[in-house]
Chains A and B, each alone.
Chain A
Amino acid sequence: MSHKIMELVEKSSLKDDKPQFEIGDTVDVHTKILEGNKERIQVFSGVVIAMSGSGTREMFVVRRIVAGEGVERKFPVHSPKIEKIEVKRKSVVRRAKLYFLRQRSGKAVRLKERRM
């Protein structure tokens, strides 16, 4: 019974249309940021290297290379601050966490593309 109540409570914080993407996808994450009191959209694009949690706590990590330096950002999937997530490219991956990409640089970072 309690489980049902928790689902009910969490439902209000979940997005109706959960963005669909997978590990290894190259995505554009459109986030709303507040500048002064003007809101604008910032795009963070990179590879989804990890997902964790479930329900309102579901998170994903996006990694990209900025000026030769690896940058990772962790986003809550259901955050109202995330406007949309666009999948740019899908790739062939064989594990759930792509932490091995952290050790790689240059051309070795590339993942093999998965054609639909």
Chain B
Amino acid sequence: MTKGILGRKVGLTQIFQEDGTVVPVTVLEVGPCHVLQVKTVERDGYEAVQLGYLDKPRRLASRAQRGQVATISSKRSKVRAASGVEAVSKPNCEPKRFVREFRGSTDAEVGSQVTAAVLEGVTAVDVIGTSKGRGFAGVMKRHNFSGQRATHGVKKCHRHAGGTSMGTYPGRTLKGKKMAGHYGNARKTVRNLKVAKVDVENNLLLVKGAVPGPRGSFVIVRETNKVGPS
């Protein structure tokens, strides 16, 4: 399995290195996560490990979510047990707020914990988060267009995109043309962020640079899949 863990963004700060250089870091609170399920080729068709981060009060969790982490007796489970179907093992923990899978085979047991210790020795990570939503944004904000001039006869078109296509041929606007629209609130991956510090005791991970999303948002952290010189 790729070395990975779930967590959330705490904030940005800077730390000093011994030689006096300042490193801008994002503080991520990672884990401890429970292993909720281990997927196998025989049963699920692929190998993966499912992690859950942060407890969710039972009263807020649906029955399905409660059944995911603990055995709940039901009519169906009784029927299945009677017919000799072996029940899958459950982690017996609280329902989780943030549940994600990491692909690949693993020797982790269902119910075991994953902590920041898995990232020890990792030099760079990828962080996946949900970017801040910006609503319906114009082309200048969304695609870094230049807009038009402030003066020299420009009328009411200062932040417009300009032309969107050619003439009679092709006679249409090409697909994928960058235009105004919804911006942000999308899954974003930042690859190859250098790890500044792993604090296993406090479940903290410090990465150099910025991470998508507001403070407090959930993130997926995995060892970078970027190869070659960084």
A contact residues vs B (CB 8 Å cutoff): 2, 5-6, 8-10, 12-13, 32, 55-57, 76, 78-81
Contacts and interface: CB of A to CB of B under 8 A. Distances in A.
Q: Which 4 A-B pairs have the closest CB atoms?
A: A81-B20, A13-B15, A13-B16, A2-B10
Interface of B: 10-11, 13-16, 18-20, 22, 25, 27, 29, 199, 202, 204, 206, 215-216
Contacts of A6: 10-11, 13, 27
From DSSP, what is the main secondary structure of chain B's interface residues?
Answer: strand
Nearest to B216: A2
B15 A5 contact: no
Given A5-B202, A79-B20, A55 B13 contact: yes
A76 B23 CA distance: 13
A82 to B, nearest CB: 8
A20 to B, nearest CB: 20
Contact of B206 (A2, A9, A55, A79): A9
Given A6-B10, A9-B204, A78 B16 contact: yes
A56 B16 contact: yes
Given A2-B215, A12-B15, A56-B16, 9 more contacts: A2-B10, A2-B11, A5-B202, A9-B199, A9-B204, A13-B16, A55-B13, A56-B15, A80-B19
B166 to A, nearest CB: 51
B10 A5 contact: yes
Contact of B204 (A5, A13, A32): A5
Contacts of B29: 5
Given A2-B216, A9-B27, A80 B20 contact: yes
